[in-house]
Amino acid sequence: MRTIGTISRWWITLGCVWLLSCVPLRAHEVDHYQVTAADKLVDLGDYWNELLSSAVARAVEELNDDLRFAQKIPVATIRDSRIAHLQRPSTVASRVHAELPSSFVAIEQLEGLLPGGPAKPQVDHETQLVRYKSSHLTGAYNHLPYVPDPRQFIRGALLRCSLVKMHGVYLGTDKVGHFIGMGHLNYQTYAAARSLGCSQDEACQRARQASQYGPLSEWALLGGIPSGLYSNADMAANYCGLKFYINLTEPVRLRGCDYPPLLTLDNGEWRLAPHAARESSYWAMLLCPHFDEALNPCYYEFTFRHHLRRKAEQNAAQLVALYAGNEPWKRSKTYFTQLVNECRTYYGEEYGRVGSDESLPLLDQVCFSVGAAEAAAAPAVAIDHQHGDRLCCWVKESPSAARGERCLTLMVTNPTDEVLSDFSIRQQLPEQAQLLAVEQPAALGPASLTWRVRRLAPHSYCELRALVTEPEQGEVQQVSHERVLSRTSSRPSSTQPPRVAYAPQRFAELR
């Protein structure tokens, strides 16, 4: 009987864990690996400024009204106790938190499901988005699990949240909820530690550990149990929210810079500091790239960790285009490694990040790995060069004016701080393609071109162009005789191999 009772208790425990896994515990998750339309997002920095600055201003106004009323209390003991309570930092933090929407409401407002969220763009509705959410069917969390997992539906559909952009930072709408809600919960732990005599750094460490290992933490009800992942970006949002509530009455360091308190006592009343104005750049400092789950990836359970890595590799071209933009020198592993390394700590401070480089889908690995090289660089050809990872090379295609012709532009970027000189780059031509012309002199090899670059300055790039056509388009036409080069045809032929020319005037017409 005792054995049966023990087994029953085990089954009850497992059943409770399963039920907790099925309950929507506000563990919203964002898909940051399918970012097809993320470049169309409008910046919601003004919304962020208004959300926080107006809450602080309203809280100060109410506190000062209460302080003036407390001055009129006739009983001295009660009056002094009330005034001391209203001037306490924890009271200020609670009042500001009360003026902000709850975590769930803040997320749903940004999702457009509740009133009070950001307004839609006034112009160009077709090319501007307030928020972006990938398809449930093609998203990163949509996969067939190795074993039946009820959390698959939670993270894949039920608690999915959108991607937004604030002050240049791409983040999930759930990060705003973490900043507001978990930031204040961490502050309560911080305030309790301070009351026990801990320093600011020690109190911050205790608050971080509570949000990391406590019941309401990333390992428990806010991550591991309902969705099977530990979000490092959520931990960064928690930590920055904690710093916001601390900075209401104490100086803090934000992104490596010292900031004075937002509020100070003046003649017994609270006064706003100049940098608390709505237009101040201070509010942008509360956000950081650590909120970005692509730059600061989650620690996923082993059951779907490899799937997330494969999905990131498949979408490498989108991710590189999103973070590199139109600056070619950023399209390199060196640049993305720098972005990833910046998120390892919060500007030198620990914020609760977990996971080794092997267990995390780091962008510099997934976007520039062997499997993702073609996707990341969007190449039409294979490229060899002398400097290994120091150079970044990729090819973009564009149609020519003539039918069947296309222009291959080889972009060579130097993301380093050094001048690179006298190096060669071999451009292998696509299969079954005929070379018509090159813009700069190049040595011809078997189905390849070898360019010689004399000098490439730091953080700069050069463009090398070739004009090709498919064999079925007919014989290759001679375009110039200034500098004629020969190559072997890519298809069997008894005739003489076609001739190609150094013809920069042809490419001037394409620009």
Assess whether 355 and 401 both reside in one domain. Answer: no
Domain boundary among 331, 365, 399: 365
In a domain, 371, yes or no: no
In a domain, 415, yes or no: yes
Assess whether 220 and 302 both reside in one domain. Answer: yes
Q: What is the DSSP letter of 263?
A: E
In a domain, 110, yes or no: yes
Assess contact for 100 and 301: CB atoms under 8 A: no
Assess whether 322 and 427 both reside in one domain. Answer: no
Assess whether 272 and 407 both reside in one domain. Answer: no
The β-bridge partners of 263 are: 272
Verdict on whether the full-model pTM lies above 0.85: no
Structure tokens, 168: 């240049």
Assess contact for 79 and 177: CB atoms under 8 A: no
Give dist(CA 483, CA 207) in Å, integer: 71
Assess whether 111 and 204 both reside in one domain. Answer: yes
**Structurally, how many domains does the chain consist of?**
2
Structure tokens, 54: 């107006």
**What is the maximum span of the chain, computed from C-alpha positions, in angstroms?**
111
Q: What is the DSSP string of 452-493?
A: EEEEE-TTEEEEEEEEEE-GGG-SPPP---SSEEE---SS--
Give per-residue burial for 472-510: e unless 16+ CB within 10 Å, then b: eeeebeebeeeeebebebbeeeeeeebbbbbbeebbeee
Give dist(CA 435, CA 102) in Å, integer: 63
In a structure prediction context, what are the per-residue pLDDT tens digits for the chain, which is 511 residues long?
444 444 444 444 444 433 333 333 345 667 778 887 778 889 999 999 999 999 999 999 999 999 999 999 999 999 999 999 999 999 999 999 999 999 989 998 998 877 877 776 655 556 788 888 877 666 666 666 666 666 665 555 556 688 999 999 999 999 999 999 999 999 999 999 999 999 999 999 999 999 888 888 887 777 777 777 899 999 999 999 999 999 999 999 999 899 999 999 999 999 999 999 999 999 999 999 999 999 999 998 887 788 888 888 888 888 888 898 877 677 778 888 889 999 999 999 999 999 999 999 999 888 876 444 444 444 434 555 666 666 777 666 666 556 667 777 777 877 777 888 888 888 777 666 777 788 888 887 777 788 888 888 887 778 888 888 765 544 434 333 333 333 333 333 333 334 456 666 556 555 5
Amino acid identity at 423: F
3-state secondary structure string across 176-200: HHHHHHHHHHHHHHHHHHHHCCCCH
Assess whether 327 and 281 both reside in one domain. Answer: yes
In a domain, 7, yes or no: no
Assess whether 157 and 244 both reside in one domain. Answer: yes
* pLDDT of res. 121: 61
In a domain, 260, yes or no: yes
Assess whether 334 and 395 both reside in one domain. Answer: no
Assess whether 339 and 437 both reside in one domain. Answer: no
Assess whether 269 and 417 both reside in one domain. Answer: no
Give dist(CA 242, CA 182) in Å, integer: 8
Determine how β-strand 160-161 pairs with β-strand 29-30: parallel
The dihedrals phi and psi of 399, each to the nearest 5 degrees, come to -70, 150
* pLDDT of res. 118: 79
Domain boundary among 333, 365, 397: 365
In a domain, 374, yes or no: no
Assess whether 411 and 464 both reside in one domain. Answer: yes
Give dist(CA 30, CA 91) in Å, integer: 33
Assess contact for 386 and 365: CB atoms under 8 A: no
Give dist(CA 160, CA 324) in Å, integer: 26
In a domain, 370, yes or no: no
Find how far residue 336's CA is from the centre of its chain. Answer: 11
In a domain, 375, yes or no: no
Assess contact for 159 and 30: CB atoms under 8 A: no
Closest CA to 149 of 217, 231, 226: 226
Range of the domain at 426: 389-508
Distances (CA, A) of 279 to 53, 99, 107, 289, 328: 9, 19, 23, 21, 33
Assess whether 309 and 398 both reside in one domain. Answer: no
Q: What is the DSSP string of 95-130?
A: HHHHHSPPHHHHHHHHTTSSTTSPPPPSS-TTT-BS
Amino acid identity at 26: R
